[in-house]
Amino acid sequence: MTARKSFRRLEQAAVISAASILAVWIAYPAVMASLAALKRQRRPQRPLPVDAGEHHERPTVSVIIATRDDVKSVHERVADCLRAADDSVAVEVIVGLDAARPADDGTEDRAELPALSPNVTFVAGDEPGGKAATLNAAVREAHGDVLLFTDVHQRFERNAIAQLASVFSDDRVGAASGRLELSAGAQRSLAGRYWSWERRLRRSEAEVHSCVGATGAIWALRRTLWAPLPEQLILDDVYTPMRVVLGGHRVTFVDGARAVDLRSPTRGHEYRRKVRTLTGVVQLCAWLPEVLQPRRNPIWLQFVFHKLLRLLTPYWLIGTATWGAAAGARLAARNRSTRTASAVALAGLCLAGKSRLLRLAADTLTWVVTLQAAAVVAAKNGAQQRWDVWRPQ
């Protein structure tokens, strides 16, 4: 009777775990997509401002890059940002040099960009270093009405800057996330398919109200809403957008503002990135507790489903898998033919080890385990308040 009760409790826990996984990863995105579709149907066309047209003043944009990368990569990225500008916006590029970078890396040598130097400023990041301190120093040197944040390892499409800047004509918009595309090879990977799904969810959230954060490689902020970042902040692209939402503005998603990431993500890269970002979510809750208050946070439900509940996914998976293993063992113990069939099936799988389908299943399982392990490590980092999680990529 005791064993039966234990199995029954395990079964109930597995049902709750499976239901939670379905709610977070399938039901929530489906609900947001449906709400976004309804909002599109009901949204009235806003009239153009009376001064739109030839008398409309060009927005000024400061492109902000915080980096500790090598000189060649930085110069190539700066040149790309300037190429992406067009006559509809006035653009400057501010490169913040992380105080933690090697002192003799040559990043401040502008010899490769002699014609572009009037539009480019290199500044030393604040001590003791780190991305937040570097961004603070870079923004102090910026003059634009719009701050556009990006990284070194991407390339903008031609009109990306103008597309992002254009949405700030709406006074309700405080920040805007662009669309990050992975490289052609990476798009076909499991990480690429996940990112495509994630991008659709963010677009839906923005249409309903606001994105829960922004895409760090391409996002923009109304300059008047900037506030210096706290030292050791991990997720500036979630912390600042959530402050914008708490302040009564929207964080929108601009599908036409596109950047392409030059890197192809590996498991190791994705693991480190997920440890960092998920640790950042825990840090955000500790450092900006208003996001956890439904009365203060207008997108509280989105934040809970998109950010917080995902941290529980590995434990739900363990609960479901444990019940599955127990149920299989229980069935095998009762039925000898089941044991024989299981052994035959296992042998068949081993013999089919070279099959494409099995390799795909194994690769998928490895990615899932890797990313869920990152969530466990992130929870441990949060419990220990270990925020120094930046590593070179």
pLDDT, one tens digit per residue, over 31-70 is 999 999 999 888 765 554 444 444 456 789 999 999 999 8
60-265 folds as Spore Coat Polysaccharide Biosynthesis Protein SpsA; Chain A (3.90.550)
Q: What is the mean pLDDT of the chain?
A: 85
Domain spans, the chain? 1-36+266-393, 60-265
Q: Determine the average pLDDT of the residues in 162-181.
A: 95
Residue ranges of E strands in the chain: 60-67, 90-97, 120-124, 146-150, 154-156, 173-181, 218-222, 250-261
Residue-level pLDDT at 352: 53
Residue-level pLDDT at 393: 39
Report cis status (omega within 30 of 0) of the bond before 29. no
What is the percent of the chain where pLDDT is above 90? Answer: 59
Q: Hunting for tokens 């190429």 — which residue is that?
A: 83
Residue-level pLDDT at 11: 84
Residue-level pLDDT at 102: 62
Residue-level pLDDT at 115: 47
Q: Model confidence at 383, in pLDDT bands (50, 70, 90)?
A: very high
Nearest by Cα to 378 from 317, 304, 312? 312
pTM (predicted TM-score): 0.86
pLDDT, one tens digit per residue, over 124-141 is 999 988 999 999 999 999
Where residue 57 falls (left for φ over 0; alpha for ψ -120 to 50; beta otherwise) is beta
Least confident of 128-132, 146-150, 214-218: 128-132
Q: Determine the average pLDDT of the residues in 286-296.
A: 97
Residue with more model confidence, 214 or 341:
214
Output the CA–CA distances (angstroms, integers) from residue 330 to 323, 327, 337, 339, 348, in the order listed. 10, 5, 13, 10, 22
One-letter amino acid at 203 equals: R
| Rounded CA separation 352/270 (Å) | 29
Q: Model confidence at 111, in pLDDT bands (50, 70, 90)?
A: very low
Instruction: Determine the length of the chain.
Output: 393
Residue 201 has pLDDT above 60, yes or no: yes
pLDDT, one tens digit per residue, over 72-109 is 899 999 999 999 987 778 999 999 999 876 655 555 55
